Amino acid sequence: MKNSTARKLQQIPAGYLLMGVDPHKKKHVAVAMTQDAIVHAKLRFTNSKEGFEEMLERARAEMVRTGSRGVIFAIETASHYWRNLAYFLDEQGIPFRLINPFTLKRRREGEDVNRRKNDFRDAEMAAELLRTGKFIETRLPRGIYAELRATYHAYRRLVKDRARFTNLLKGLLDGLFPEFTQVFRNPRGKTALTVLSLCPVPRIIASMTLEDFVDSIRKEFHGRAPKVQKLHALYAASKTSVGIDAGAESISFELSLLTQRIRLNEEQIERTEAILVRLVDSITDSRYLLSIRGLSYISVAGIMAELGPLSLYRDAGQLIKMAGSNPTESESAGKQASHTPMSKKGRPGLRWCTWVAAVSLLRHNPDFASWAKDRMERPAHAHPLEKREVIGALANRLLRLAYALVKKQTMCRVPQMAEIAI
C-alpha cells in the first residue's frame, strides 16, 4: 500500500477511544475523543506515576461510558516531557502514536481563524490528528540502542563544548597574544596548552631567556616531549608582539582556567568514544556498516543511535527522510526553483553525522570519491553538482548503502556499491 495515510489509518482499530495529550513539566493535559470527533472528557494529571495511573483510570471510565473497545494515545512531542509518559504506556502495553508539533500548530491555526491556543485545544488537536492518520510512526529505543543513543547525544554535547572552548580561547588570544595562533595552528595541542597554563603573556615570555622559557615548559609538560621549534618561534614572536598589556594578568588567569576545562573536555571525549566503540561492537549489524571503507566507529555509532535497528525500516527512503537530507522541490504556476535544497525536517544529529561521514568517505573511499567526481564533472545539460550538493548526495548514498548491507546481511564490496543508485 503506497498511501501512507491509509496505512496509518489501518493502525487505529475501530471503536477505540482517542486520548490526545499535551505534555508539560509538572502537569499534562488530556482530551478523550471518540472516532466520530466528539470530545467526551478533559482532564489534567501530574507528571508522576500516580498521575499516570489516575489518567488511565479516567481513560478506562470513559471507555465504559462511550462503549469503546480500547484506548490509543496521541502525544505531542513539543518538548522532552513526553518521553516519561510514552515509556510508561509502552510498559503497560497501551498503544500510542506521536504527533509532530509543527503539524499540530499548522492544523490548529488553519482551523481557528482567531488563532486561539490553550493546552486543552492542543490536546484536542493531537487526538484529531490521530483520528485522521497524521501521526508519526515510532518505536522507543530499548536495550543497547537506548544506551547507544544516550551516549552519542552526550558525545555530541562534548564536541559542541570543545568548539565553544576553542573559539573562546582564540578570542582571548586575539587581544592578549595574537601571534600565538600563528605559531600554534591548533591552540588545543599539548605544548600550546602547557604554555597557556603557565605564561601566555608575551611580555613575561620576552623578559625570560630562551633557555629558561623552554625549561619551564618542559618541567610542566605531560607527554613525551614538547615541540621545541614551536617554542623558539613563540619566544621570537613575543619580542615583537602587539598584544594588549592592559588587563593581561586577569586574562592570563582566565586562560589557565580555560586550559583546565579543555583538558577535561578532551579526556571526557576520549572516554565517551571508548564507550561508543564498545557499544557498536556489541551490535551485530554494525559489522556490515564498518565494512565500508572510510566509515569510522563514531559515524556508525551516530547512524545506529539515531536510526535504531535498520531492519525495522521498509525502505532506504525512510532513512533519508529521517535525516532530513531528502531534496525538496518548490513549484508554483508551472515554475520551479533553480535549486532543490534539503528538507532539514528530520533529525539534525543524524544529518550532522552523515554529513561528517560523507566528507570522510570523499577523502578515504575511492568509490565514493569517483562517484562524486562524476556528478561534479558531468556536462551542463546533466546538471552538475556543486561541492556541498555532492556531499549531501553522498550522505544519502551512504544511508542507502547501509540499509542494503543490513537488509542483505552482507559485507560491503565495491561492485555492490556501484549498484546503489542515488
Closest CA to 193 of 212, 206, 180: 180
| pLDDT score at 209 | 92
- CA dihedral for 53, 59, 63, 66, sign (positive or negative): positive
Asked if 357 contacts 292 with a C-beta cutoff of 8 angstroms, the reply is no
**Alpha carbons 206 and 309: distance in angstroms, whole number:** 59
| pLDDT score at 419 | 56
Give the length of the chain.
Answer: 422
- Determine if the pTM surpasses 0.85: yes
| pLDDT score at 337 | 65
| pLDDT score at 1 | 45
| pLDDT score at 422 | 44
Beta-carbon neighbour count of residue 414 at 10 Å? 10
Domains and CATH numbers, the chain: 15-140 (3.30.420.10), 146-278 (1.10.287.4070), 284-325+342-418 (no CATH)
Helix axes 119-131, 101-111, angle to 10 degrees: 100
Mean pLDDT by 10 residues, the chain (422 residues): 80 94 95 95 95 96 95 93 95 94 90 83 95 90 94 96 95 94 92 92 92 91 87 93 91 93 96 97 95 95 95 92 86 69 88 95 93 91 88 95 94 65 45
| pLDDT score at 380 | 86
| pLDDT score at 376 | 92
| pLDDT score at 333 | 67
Asked if 47 contacts 25 with a C-beta cutoff of 8 angstroms, the reply is yes
Chain-centre distance for alpha carbon 67: 43
Closest CA to 357 of 276, 280, 413, 301: 301
What residues contact residue 69 under an 8 Å CB cut-off, 6+ apart? 13, 14, 15, 16, 63
